[in-house]
Amino acid sequence: MPSPTPEIRYALSGDVSIAYAVVGDGPVDLVFVHGFAGNLQNELEMPEYAAFHSRLASCSRLVVFDRRGTGLSDRMREAATLETRMDDLRAVLDAVGSQSAVVFGTFEAAAMCLLFAATYPERVRGVILYNPVASTGASRHVASDADIATMIEQWGTRASAAAQIEVMAPSRAGDDAFADVMARHQRLGASPGAARTILRMSREVDVGDVLPAIRVPTLVMHMPSLREEAEYLAARIAGARRYEVPGPDYYIMLLGDEAYDEIERFVESLHGDPAPDTVLATVLFTDIVGSTARAAELGNRAWRELVERHHAVVRRSLDVFRGRELDTAGDGFFASFDGPIRAIRCATSVVTGVRDLGLDVRAGLHTGECETIGDKLGGIAVNIGARVAARAGAGEVLVTSTVKDLVAGSGLVFEDRGAAELKGVPGEWRLYAVADAAS
Q: Minimal CA–CA distance to 408: which of 43, 78, 38?
A: 78
| Cβ distance to another protein smaller for residue 9 or 324 | 9
Burial of 169 (0-12, 13-18, 19+ CB in 10 A): buried
- Contact flag: residue 10 with another protein (CB under 8 A): yes
| Residue numbers 47-76 binding another protein by CB under 8 A | 69, 72-76
CB–CB of 266/344 below 8 Å?
no
CB 173 → another protein: shortest distance, Å? 20
| Cβ distance to another protein smaller for residue 75 or 322 | 75
- Contact flag: residue 150 with another protein (CB under 8 A): no
CB 137 → another protein: shortest distance, Å? 33
Using left for φ > 0, alpha for ψ between -120 and 50, and beta otherwise, residue 399 falls in beta
CB 320 → another protein: shortest distance, Å? 22
The residue within the footprint of another protein, chosen from 23, 124, 194, 359 (CB under 8 A), is 194
Burial of 292 (0-12, 13-18, 19+ CB in 10 A): exposed
- Whole-angstrom distance, CA of residue 259 vs CA of residue 384: 41
- Contact flag: residue 41 with another protein (CB under 8 A): yes
- Whole-angstrom distance, CA of residue 340 vs CA of residue 210: 12
CB 17 → another protein: shortest distance, Å? 4
The residue within the footprint of another protein, chosen from 61, 67, 123, 187 (CB under 8 A), is 187
The residue within the footprint of another protein, chosen from 24, 35, 105, 156 (CB under 8 A), is 156
| Cβ distance to another protein smaller for residue 9 or 242 | 9
- Contact flag: residue 193 with another protein (CB under 8 A): yes
Q: What is the CA radius of gyration of the chain?
A: 23
- Contact flag: residue 151 with another protein (CB under 8 A): no
Pairing of strands 332-337, 61-65: unpaired
Buried b (16+ CB within 10 A) or exposed e, 310-332: beebbbebbeebebeebeeeebb
- Contact flag: residue 410 with another protein (CB under 8 A): no
| Cβ distance to another protein smaller for residue 183 or 422 | 183
| Cβ distance to another protein smaller for residue 68 or 125 | 68
Which H or E run contains 10? strand 8-13
- Contact flag: residue 38 with another protein (CB under 8 A): no
- Contact flag: residue 371 with another protein (CB under 8 A): no
- Whole-angstrom distance, CA of residue 9 vs CA of residue 64: 11
| Cβ distance to another protein smaller for residue 66 or 206 | 66
CB 166 → another protein: shortest distance, Å? 19
DSSP code at position 249: -
Q: Minimal CA–CA distance to 128: which of 31, 23, 205, 11?
A: 31
CB 316 → another protein: shortest distance, Å? 28
For binding to another protein (CB under 8 A), which residues are involved? 7-10, 15-17, 19, 41, 69, 72-78, 155-158, 183-184, 187-188, 191-194
